[in-house]
Homo-oligomer: A and B are copies of this chain.
Amino acid sequence: MEVMDLLRERKSVRTFLDKKIDDDVKDLLYEAAFEAPTAGCQMFYSIIEVKDERKKEVLAKACDSQMWLTKAPLVLVFVADNRRWNDLYRAYGLKPREPRLGDLWLALSDANIAAENMVIAAESLGLGSCYIGDVIERHEIVKDLLELPDEVVPACMLVIGYPDAKAKDRSKPRRFAKGYIVHQDAYHIQSAADHKKYYEGHFIKTDKEIDYKDTLKKFMEFKYESDFSKEMSRSARLYFAPFLKDE
């Protein structure tokens, strides 16, 4: 049950000790990622380690100005890589087709699956981690900064380091109940009453009364109707465009 406990207890870490990660530990993290399941054993991703301090700052700014992440000892951008195999084919004189949306889809999956293996390995080695979804924003800046060809697209970003006391003390946010997430044999559209039941049920109850509608409204404004959320879609379209070209 050690593994189940680790999965249960793992939470995002955003504040780190000022302690570097040794190279042999880093190699274990990479190995964990590489050993992840991958479509046809093709490893359709690359990992860019961002060490350069100036680059870290530009990246943090591009990620909705989350400057805290420049303090992370390890900053990794997992990119969906539909370039490597085509270059390999060409190295042997073969003529592969251009990558299209299905290829990007597989590559994004491979990248996220490998990243999650690394997150779990990190946890088992006493390291904390956090995904930065904002890496899909600011196409123009990030593509230029990381010198990404058109066939290479950021899938996710991980920051990793030893958690400080504040990070260790933070309680893990509660997840929704199984009845809200798992469907039998088909997708079932849930009733308004069920939505309220599951939403309200996932708060930790205290003596303080919660205004659920107001809490949800603020959450929606912050997470979904916000500038960064719209920027994600604008930027994503630019990354996707080359994969949507007609044959």
Residues of A bordering B, CB below 8 Å: 1-4, 6-8, 10, 12, 27-28, 30-32, 34-43, 45-52, 55, 79, 83-85, 87-94, 96-97, 100-103, 105-106, 108-109, 112-113, 115-117, 119-121, 123-124, 129-131, 133, 136, 145-149, 152, 155-156, 173-176, 178, 180-190, 192-193, 195-196, 199, 212-213, 216-217, 220, 223-225, 229-237, 240, 243-244
Contacts and interface: CB of A to CB of B under 8 A. Distances in A.
Copies of this chain in its oligomeric complex: 2
Contact of A101 (B55, B85, B237): B237
Contact of A113 (B1, B47, B115): B115
Contact of A3 (B3, B106, B192): B3
B51 A37 contact: no
A212 B41 CA distance: 17
The secondary structure that dominates the A interface is: helix
B233 A185 contact: no
Nearest to A237: B101
A75 to B, nearest CB: 10
A110 to B, nearest CB: 9
B106 A232 contact: yes
B7 A233 contact: no
Nearest to A28: B4
